[in-house]
């Protein structure tokens, strides 16, 4: 006669091995659905059905976890090898890709805004290749490095600002302005004729107008970079641009 299965002879359940990769992926899942403020060691451990202490064998603290998350996100926005014939298109694509991946994980851009140095290998590689693309277009190494810094500062700030529409003080569905915005508008209305332009701009800044604003910024950046490249071409003594490959 066959005996019924009991807790004593049950086969052990397969347990997924804890790793840094699983921790980072789980943290990104929490970020995408709950926002950056929800990401902490305790919450990630809970999602992994383990104790927070077990995570420290793979990740030192929340700061390191945040940097690992950012570097994983940047890995989703690869930067091509420089092509002198397409350098303006390439740098535009790089900026759009950076914003695309960072806005997919609202708040992650804040991690990069809190430091002036790259936070991981993918961050380093993106910086290196952006400089290479700009040098391929005719900028000096100094110009390319400073321009890359400026471009990255803008994409991070833009992506972080966009995260407010998802997990910030703005109601994304009803477009209800925050209390602070209402106070500012009331203040300007209290002084007729003092803020005629500012009072017309509130409708120009929303989730719907974000692509338009970003396109304008990219257009302005590329125009400025093209001007620098053309100016350098008229100065043969300028530092000759070189290309770097992975």
Whole-model pTM above 0.75? yes
How far is the first Cα of the chain from the last one, in angstroms, to the nearest whole number? 67
In a domain, 54, yes or no: yes
Answer yes or no: do 144 and 242 share one domain.
yes
Answer yes or no: do 98 and 215 share one domain.
yes
Count other Cβ atoms within 10 Å, centred on residue 6: 7
Q: What is the CATH number of the domain that holds 39?
A: 1.10.10.60
- How far out from the chain centre does Cα 97 lie? 9
Q: What pLDDT digit, counting tens, does each position of 12-60 carry?
A: 444 468 899 999 999 999 998 888 889 999 999 999 999 999 999 999 9
Answer yes or no: do 50 and 96 share one domain.
no
In a domain, 9, yes or no: no
In a domain, 180, yes or no: no
Dihedral angle sign, alpha carbons of residues 185, 155, 27, 30: positive
Answer yes or no: do 119 and 85 share one domain.
yes
In a domain, 164, yes or no: yes
Taking the C-alpha atoms of 232, 234, 237 and 239 in order, what is their torsion angle to the nearest 10 degrees?
20
Domain total of the chain? 2
Residue numbers of the domain that contains 47: 15-59
Q: What pLDDT digit, counting tens, does each position of 205-238 carry?
A: 777 888 899 999 999 999 999 999 999 998 865 4
In a domain, 47, yes or no: yes
Answer yes or no: do 46 and 159 share one domain.
no
Q: What pLDDT digit, counting tens, does each position of 84-128 carry?
A: 999 999 999 999 999 999 998 988 988 877 777 777 899 999 999
Residue 138, phi then psi, degrees to nearest 5: 120, 5
Answer yes or no: do 148 and 237 share one domain.
yes
Answer yes or no: do 55 and 83 share one domain.
no
Q: What is the CATH number of the domain that holds 238?
A: 1.10.357.10
């Amino acid at each position: 006669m066959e005996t019924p299965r009991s807790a004593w002879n049950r086969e052990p359940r397969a347990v997924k091995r804890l790793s840094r990769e699983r921790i980072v992926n789980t943290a990104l899942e929490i970020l995408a659905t709950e926002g950056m403020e929800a990401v902490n060691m305790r919450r990630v451990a809970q999602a992994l059905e383990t104790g927070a202490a077990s995570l420290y064998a793979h990740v030192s603290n929340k700061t390191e976890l945040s940097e690992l998350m950012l570097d994983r996100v940047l890995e989703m926005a690869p930067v091509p090898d420089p092509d002198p014939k397409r350098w303006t298109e390439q740098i535009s694509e790089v900026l759009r890709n950076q914003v695309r991946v960072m806005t997919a994980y609202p708040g992650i851009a804040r991690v990069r805004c809190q430091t002036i140095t790259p936070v991981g290998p993918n961050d380093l590689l993106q910086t290196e290749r952006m400089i290479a693309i700009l040098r391929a277009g005719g900028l000096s190494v100094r110009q390319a490095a400073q321009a890359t810094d400026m471009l990255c500062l803008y994409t991070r700030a833009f992506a972080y600002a966009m995260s407010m529409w998802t997990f910030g003080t703005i109601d994304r569905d009803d477009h209800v302005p925050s209390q602070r915005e209402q106070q500012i508008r009331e203040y300007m209305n209290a002084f007729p004729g003092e803020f005629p332009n500012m009072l017309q701009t509130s409708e120009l800044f929303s989730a719907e107008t974000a692509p338009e604003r970003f396109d304008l910024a990219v257009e302005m950046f590329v125009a400025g970079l093209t001007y620098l490249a053309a100016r350098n071409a008229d100065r043969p003594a300028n530092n000759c641009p070189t290309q770097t490959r992975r």
